[in-house]
Amino acid sequence: MQKTNEFLLNFFSEKKKNFLRGFFAFFSFFLVILLIQSFFNKDDSYIAKLSIENIIHTDNDLSNLLDNLNEDKNLKAVLIDVNSPGGTIVGSQTIYNKLKRLGENVPIAVSMKEVAASGGYLVSLAADRIFCYKGTVTGSIGVILQTMNFNTFLEKIGLEPLVVKSGNMKSVPNPLERLNEEKKEKIAGLVDNMAKQFLDLVVENRNLNDKEIDLVSDGSVFTGVQAVKVNLVDEIGDEEDAISWLKKKANLDDKIEVLDIKKPSGLLNDFNLNDAHILKKLSGFLAIWLI
């Protein structure tokens, strides 16, 4: 009888052990499956945050970065921090065009900082919504050409510049020759045409009425409060307000990650020498077109 009891105890003990082993094996397998599924179903969605600062010019690194973002399926929205007084026309138009293409796939919001004027405002026009601080300086819609004339100075020191060129309008404006009315009119025509390109973008993107166009088309600058009143900016708000709007616009989870996207680092970028390089180009004796 005792042997029978021992046999039964051992039998059920082994049964219990086998059951526990099977249970833990199944549990471990189930856990591994969940982990694998979690890994492959991981949500890599994010909001990209980029900064456009200082003088705007043709920037291949930024252009390539925007192209790469446009191909990223995990990108759900874009926040652009703008803090720029302006720059070259082509540089500003290039960024605007890149952002417009990006905006065909994801919503874009701009958060203006201290200044987003002239070219800094032009690139902001690509956004679906523009936020700024009350004290932000923006506007300055127009184009400026700056040059010098050294003739009077050269005459005083007894020098006469000699300019030989193939056509009357070649290399105009030139600091070594005076401008007659014909040359001034042609230069003014170029400035007016470029200014019209800028203003057309403003009217197209901001849907301005005639009164608002008159208020902003003379190159005036505005505070953030004034800019909202003349419809250059959508609302007063900070970066967090812009992010909240993007989440709502794209129906995103409140916990979605906001990634600070930066251009490739290099020696020139680290010491801000790229801006110094472009400034050197812009400050030559031959005038450059700035907005």
Catalytic residues: 118, 170
Distance CA 174, CA 279 (A): 19
The CA distance from 110 to 126, in Å, is 9
Q: How many residues does the chain have?
A: 291
For tokens 């901001």, name the residue: 206
* Distance in angstroms (rounded) separating the CA atoms of residues 12 and 26: 21
User: How far is Cα 187 from Cα 190, in angstroms, rounded to an integer?
Assistant: 5
Alpha-carbon gap, residue 138 to 272, rounded angstroms: 24
Longest dimension (CA), the chain: 135
**Which residue in the block uniquely carries the two structure tokens 């801006």?**
275
Cβ-Cβ contacts under 8 Å for 208 (sequence gap 6 or more): 202, 216, 231
CB contact at 8 A, 84 and 55: yes
Residue with tokens 């059951």: 19
Distances (CA, A) of 181 to 31, 104, 226: 84, 46, 38
Q: Is 156 exposed, middle or buried (0-12, 13-18, 19+ CB in 10 A)?
A: exposed
- Asked whether 291 and 201 are in contact (CB, 8 A), the reply is no
For 144, phi then psi, to 5°, come to: -135, 140
